[in-house]
Amino acid sequence: MKMFAPAAAALALMSAAAAAQEAPLTPDAVIAAAPAEEWRPIASTDLLVMDLAADAAGSPRRVVIQLLPAPFSAGWTSNIRQLVAARWWDGTSVYRVVDNWVAQWGGDEEKPLPPGLIEVPEAAYVTATEAGDAEGRDFVLTPEREEIVVNRWLDPYAVTGFVAGWPVGLGEEDGRTAWPVHCYGAVGVARDLSPDTGSGSELYAVIGHAPRQLDRNIAVVGRVIEGIEHLATLPRGRGEAGVYADPARRVPILSVRMASDLPEAERPSFEYLDTASKSFARYLGLRANRKDSFYQVPAGGVDVCNAPVPIRKAPE
Amino acid sequence: MKMFAPAAAALALMSAAAAAQEAPLTPDAVIAAAPAEEWRPIASTDLLVMDLAADAAGSPRRVVIQLLPAPFSAGWTSNIRQLVAARWWDGTSVYRVVDNWVAQWGGDEEKPLPPGLIEVPEAAYVTATEAGDAEGRDFVLTPEREEIVVNRWLDPYAVTGFVAGWPVGLGEEDGRTAWPVHCYGAVGVARDLSPDTGSGSELYAVIGHAPRQLDRNIAVVGRVIEGIEHLATLPRGRGEAGVYADPARRVPILSVRMASDLPEAERPSFEYLDTASKSFARYLGLRANRKDSFYQVPAGGVDVCNAPVPIRKAPE
């Protein structure tokens, strides 16, 4: 096997100290060397655990989705929490898979919706942020003030950045408005034509090149942080718009639960690298300018979806 | 089913005239309405036909790869043509699959290489182009002069454009140097550490977000134009660097042939939309600025990998 690109697995075998010593640094080595205090927990109350039917070989297929924190897409994530509580997705299916596009599941054609879901206006695709400090960099996202880190590299679609571990687009002046962006693994809300915004009962995950044209046109509500391969490897649909022409090919969803409602021993536990940390800044710089024993020509830039926010299982 | 995004399938049902009448235009409608003279044939002498072993259900898995035209990556594509002529890939396998990254096959650990392959220098990752007309837009790519169309939208990695149906990066002044870029479906040459450049016997196809950091660091030799799903849906490897830990999971490659060597009735036949045509310019503009019954907020930009060059089966 040619190396082709340094293997994360090989780097994982190096101690963090050894990785930090190696010169020149790689993005993976920076992540490996990040101190524990730069990692932040992902609340189990923000994690959806979706169990698909086992595959043909009998292997379980679990997909873990992290919901966006408020105020991003708050109306839709509130609906989603309500649908999970009602066990509404149990017995629905993944019924549409389009190569280099999306895998899609649920929806009110499979099952009537429970009463009480919020109708969210299109205006909610974008979130107004409170004016910040002199540099305009503070951002009220949660009860804590979260720092927006601007990605200084050009982007074809918008000024971009990161806040609270999420890649975002930034409007007007940086930090006045923000919206979650469609990267690989992003989970969004299927909808009919504008002004419909979708209820959140029908979701899709991006399984190809970032379809950034969807930003601000459709709600992003989260991202797959484990098990995306269970969606990305599904056979592509051959019916209209990639729907499985034969309903028997639909992939049953056994259950969708909040991780916090699972028995503690079964609860997945993750953390993300603080996007306002020094290590993340170093990582971002190296993603834009790789120069090491493998890379000879630094790109001089990186798009916001090509610097995935590092996420890992929480140490026991 | 929510529409989520207009279905190409539905548009295909409209006549070109009807699509052209519809306002506002969509990128798919522009493609559907492009006149026949804007479509250019892809030579069967530039197509690799790779047959993988049938899947578990017994369905055949054919992957069709278009090789880059000279002078791009000419040393490597020359080696690849030689390896196909020797039927060298027959009996090798796809043995590495990494989610949102690549599927990889072949290589000299599977089989000794035939003599006579060219060693290509790193300098060949970039192609010098002849100075052009007053606007610097002519480009000697083939015996015909091919027009470079510059993508005027920002790009984090380079000035970009299209030439002869291929997305490229453009260096220095536009049109002085060019290189093929890593988009979804791109096929490249695995290699060891620099200054190794790979022989072309071990190839990979991109099955995720465009890894543009590889541009100019590794040779792109072509793109999958049919059957990418047979690679993208393969189980992800769980060994080091995504290699199948169990060699029995490797996917056998039955044969790799030039399409021109297949019996005429079996020969796949494709054409691409001339990237110097009016329809392509219109398509590119609409990919950057979608505003129709589904899209309300035009992005105001598009990255070179998010405006895939339209390719279709040649009409009978």
| B314 residue type, one letter | A
pLDDT score for B152? 86
Residue of A nearest to B289 (CA): A213
Domain made up of B42-124+180-270: CATH architecture: Beta Barrel (2.40)
Nearest-CA neighbor of A127 among A171, A189, A67, A184? A171
pLDDT score for B213? 97
pLDDT score for B173? 60
Percent over 70 (pLDDT), chain B: 87
Q: Give the lowest-confidence range in A226-235, B6-15, B95-104, B115-124.
A: B6-15
Judge: A9–B241 Cβ closer than 8 Å, yes or no: yes
Q: How confident is the model at residue A316 (pLDDT cuts 50, 70, 90)?
A: confident
Q: How confident is the model at residue B210 (pLDDT cuts 50, 70, 90)?
A: very high
d(CA A315, CA A257): 23
Q: How confident is the model at residue B9 (pLDDT cuts 50, 70, 90)?
A: very low
pLDDT score for B15? 41
Residues of B in contact with A177 (CB under 8 A): none
**What pLDDT, in 10s, does the model give residues B63-72?**
999 999 988 9
| B123 residue type, one letter | A
Judge: B99–A228 Cβ closer than 8 Å, yes or no: yes
Tokens of A77: 């994530």
Residues of B in contact with A184 (CB under 8 A): 100, 208-209
Q: How confident is the model at residue A7 (pLDDT cuts 50, 70, 90)?
A: very low
Nearest Cβ partner of A191 from B2, B8, B300? B2
* Over residues A83-112, mean pLDDT: 95
pLDDT score for B71? 85
Q: For the CA atoms of chain A, what is the radius of gyration? A: 20
Judge: A191–B4 Cβ closer than 8 Å, yes or no: yes
Residues of B in contact with A100 (CB under 8 A): 184-185, 228, 232
d(CA B240, CA B227): 26
* Over residues B117-135, mean pLDDT: 78
Which ipTM score applies to this complex? 0.91
Judge: A102–B4 Cβ closer than 8 Å, yes or no: yes
**What pLDDT, in 10s, does the model give residues A216-275?**
999 999 999 999 999 999 999 999 999 999 999 999 999 999 999 999 999 999 999 999
Residue of B nearest to A155 (CA): B156
Judge: A4–B100 Cβ closer than 8 Å, yes or no: no
Residues of B in contact with A122 (CB under 8 A): 296
Nearest Cβ partner of B296 from A100, A217, A233? A217
First-to-last alpha carbon distance for chain A, in angstroms, is 34
Nearest Cβ partner of B209 from A194, A210, A293? A210
Nearest-CA neighbor of A201 among A285, A284, A306, A78? A78
Judge: B99–A234 Cβ closer than 8 Å, yes or no: no
Q: How confident is the model at residue A132 (pLDDT cuts 50, 70, 90)?
A: very low
pLDDT of B133 higher than 50: no
Q: Give the lowest-confidence range in A26-40, A99-113, B2-16, B252-266.
A: B2-16
**What pLDDT, in 10s, does the model give residues A275-284?**
999 999 999 9
Residues of A in contact with B237 (CB under 8 A): none
Q: Taking all residues of chain B, what is their mean pLDDT, rounded to a whole number?
A: 89
- Report whether CATH 3.40.47.10 matches the domain A8-124+180-313: no
H-helix or E-strand containing A27?
helix A27-33
Residue of B nearest to A307 (CA): B211
CB pairs under 8 A between A and B: 219
Q: Cα-flanking dihedrals φ and ψ of residue B124, to 5°?
A: -75, -5
pLDDT score for A140? 53
Residue of B nearest to A240 (CA): B9
Judge: B297–A217 Cβ closer than 8 Å, yes or no: yes
Nearest Cβ partner of B240 from A7, A192, A229? A7
d(CA B179, CA B168): 5
